[in-house]
Structure 1
């Protein structure tokens, strides 16, 4: 019986391979009929170019391929073709000069079962435009872009300093405290309250965020995005993504229910109340985009987006400052001269702290937390750098390639704050600096993130000296994994009061 089963299984496998090969050839012919995509490395059936894309170095591999195939080229991620935009000029010409065409969001399998194209990050068309305009207005109402949000950040910075003070002299991993502090700022806007640093429910939510970001940035996350149907049947950590999402959905739904029970219509306390007010206004509109599921997804987008990338930037930045103590010392000297040690730094100090401002920009350029950006999908046919790109084309905007562009930055693979300083030591911006993406899909919380990065770093450096555990020369800045995000390695440091 067993010996007969093996040939039968082999026949089924061959049938699967032949069907998949036929589908691949059909897809190739369809692409050719619609018009050839930009050139790129020759793909294999089913696998595409996966054997040429080095695990844990996807961003670097794509930049190396660009050296041969140009700034706009095609790779196949399994059976799906993806057009890669590499270098500052290609990214600018697409995301800024053709902002409408490149304003669509490409689907990602790791998010699709949860979002189903809903929420502000993964929606498209009129739903996205409606949610984007509403969210921008609501966030502005609750302080983003005004002094109100600065006050919220400084209040949280004071809480963070108190927690850090308790660690003085002892080695510790800063991940959890930074995560708590950053998340509390967006929580105050979205949920209307902050959480204690030892709140078990809050700590669980942050663990869910970190776990998902880490898995999505791993090889498991990459492979799930390419072969979701296959990986649904294969055991692995990728299944935890959807379990985590469901737990987050339950938490957010409970928060919405509490808001329903305590709100005063027309007097919003936070983003959720604001959205519920809009739902009331449009409850008789059958085509309204303001539904409870949309509120859940949009709240998750803001909560996740306002927590993970900024906290990783802070963590990566601290590790870099530990490796380059001379940079840290120069920042502290500038802070002492401009702000002193008696008052708290403010956003108004930023223009008077050119070296500090340059370092914080360089930290973000060098770490490039979202190296590939989130994928785009073309909303209509267009041309770019001599290539025809049809509507629906899946696009990878390789943001890190702008940060590594030698035509824009000196020694782009090295950490160098003078990338943002002119010959007189004054801060100078650079259009190739794009940690929050470009165009109409630019991160809505970019202003908030910039403010948090400046205020958290300056308040910490004003109060403490940063000491590595071991020699600075031995600090390895290589990310723990690189995929959706650059996840920094775990590390410890010691703080000494100044």
Structure 2
């Protein structure tokens, strides 16, 4: 009988093992590199754009003053062009005509939100601002609009409470007794309290340290979310496991904010009577209870936290920055400040507080506020969007799911619609008789139905606090 023995395995030396591992690592890196380069290829019919750096694309071009860089690129490549943000193919819209064509005439096509790793990490694509276009988006937008209409601008009591907040603000300024100070803290608190009245039904005092800390974190996260590190994270989400980087600070801040909001929401929902909401939180909890058991509902306690956080940011950062820029330009242009002061004094005689009824009698004040919004570009790149289906724009083909950036800075400095756009000139919003004049190419918060919410918040705040 012949005995068959399996061949003996040759022992592998340490050097050979290292060589095999090195070859596998090189092969893996080559595969990842090829896959990344394939992702960075422009689809057929896609708009042209600046040449990308292999792997990282055009990310570093957006590190400093991205709105200025994008406007300069539009002068080379046209009003619509593309960027490569580390494999995330992006289309940039510049100029009023291009933005109007996409966001107004094709509003539903450009209504979606990009599925970016940062949005998935921070809000799981839920909440209000980053929610994907669909029933959940429509439901949350409707609730927010109704809440700001019902608990806010439609109530005479609300206008009186805004006037009271202005008095708190003025009293806080008086405490400095004419000494120089940074007004950011007080302006932020005052503006935020207007939104808080609708969200929670109450304001926070200026010495509430917990709320002050949260507002500072909100402000910091707004800056971090548009930083170079955030762009890198979207392109290469594996950097989440690196122990350093500004994205780690962003994530730590988010956890702290969500814990704080959960505590605040619980506190302000005490005493709630179902179907008799006192504020936005109560209204949301009513919707949550009514949709219990519906597997398709987007109303969840987690989305309530995200929505409240986004409304606070939307209602605080934009108006706060508008008022701070307005203070700066009043200081830089004392002749404009004098004209504003003269008009206010002529309307608000005998120390009467301002009200919406006085607004139409202050066209110059209105013009100054609009010029501040145009000139200072409070939200220069708007909110990132995505195409909900294949789109055709200016002869180019934009595939479904493409990220879209609207360069609002280019709209407000579009020489086709603005004479001498680089000059701060409130008179551009006045007609020959001195009446307020609406301008078509004025889009401080972009176009679209969700932006209606942001615009309601902002308009509700700044004319009164101004």
CA offset digits 1:348-380 (Å, max 9, x no partner)? 222111111111000011111111111111111
Say which SS state the counterpart of residue 388 (structure 2) adopts.
Answer: coil
Q: 2:353 aligns with which of 344, 350, 372?
A: 344
Q: Secondary structure at the match of 1:444?
A: helix
Describe how 1:60-71 pairs up with structure 2 within 5 A.
60-71=68-79
Cα distance, 1:16–1:443 mapped onto 2, change above 3 Å: farther
Q: Secondary structure at the match of 1:84?
A: strand
Q: Is the 8 A contact 1:87 1:398 kept in 2?
A: yes
Paired residue secondary structure (1:238):
helix
The offset of 1:28, in angstroms, is: 4.4
**How does 1:91-490 map onto structure 2 within 5 Å?**
91-124=99-132, 125-230=134-239, 232-233=241-242, 235-340=244-349, 342-457=351-466
Aligned equivalents of 2:126, 2:228: Cα separation in 1: 26
Q: Which segments of 5 or more consecutive residues in structure 1 lack a partner in the other structure?
A: 458-498
> What is the TM-score when the length of structure 2 is the normalising length?
0.90
Number of aligned residues: 451
> Any conservation in 2 of the 1:145–1:447 contact (CA below 8 Å)?
no
Quickly say closer, same or farther: Cα 1:4–1:187, change in 2 above 3 A.
Answer: farther
Distance 1:15 1:421, change over 3 A: farther
- 2:325 and 2:404 mapped to 1: Cα distance? 27
Query: Partners in 2 of 1:7 and 1:415 — Cα distance?
Result: 66
> C-alpha separation between the residues in 2 aligned to 1:7 and 1:421?
75
Superposition deviation, residue 260 in structure 1: 4.8
Residues 35-55 of structure 1 show CA distances to partners (whole Å, capped at 9, x for unaligned) of 33111122232121235x253
TM-score (norm 1): 0.85
**Structure 1's 28 and 177: CA in aligned 2 closer, same or farther, altered over 3 A?**
closer
Note if 1:48 corresponds to 2:57: yes
- Asked whether the 8 Å contact 2:109–2:387 carries over to 1, the reply is yes
CA RMSD of aligned residues (A): 2.4
- Per-residue deviation, 1:11: 7.3
Contact 1:107–1:375 (Cα < 8 Å) also in 2: no
User: Is the CA contact 2:40–2:84 (under 8 Å) kept in the aligned structure 1?
Assistant: no
Could you give the per-residue CA deviations for residues 431-461 of structure 1, whole angstroms, max 9, x where no partner exists? 211112202231403123123211112xxxx
Contact kept? 1:45, 1:79, Cα under 8 Å: no
Partner of 1:25: 37
Q: Is the 8 A contact 1:21 1:45 kept in 2?
A: no
Alignment partner of 1:85: what SS? strand
Q: 1:259 to 1:163 in 2, by over 3 A?
A: closer
Greater mean alpha carbon deviation, residues 374-383 or residues 233-242: 233-242
Query: How far did residue 122 of structure 1 move?
Result: 0.9
- How far 1:148 sits from its partner (Å)? 4.0
Q: Distance in 1 between matches of 2:243 and 2:216?
A: 24
Mark the CA change 1:160 to 1:6 in structure 2 (over 3 Å): closer, same or farther.
farther
C-alpha contact (below 8 Å) 1:46/1:79 kept by paired residues? yes
Q: Choose 93-102 or 289-298, whichever is displaced more.
A: 289-298
Which range is displaced more, 102-111 or 312-321?
102-111
> Partner residue of 1:87?
95
Whole-angstrom CA distance in 1 between matches of 2:177 and 2:225 = 34
Note the alpha carbon deviations across 1:265-287, whole angstroms, 9 max, x for none.
12211111111112222213232
Gaps of 5+ in 2: 1-14
| Residue 141 to residue 4, structure 1, CA distance change in 2 (3 Å) | farther
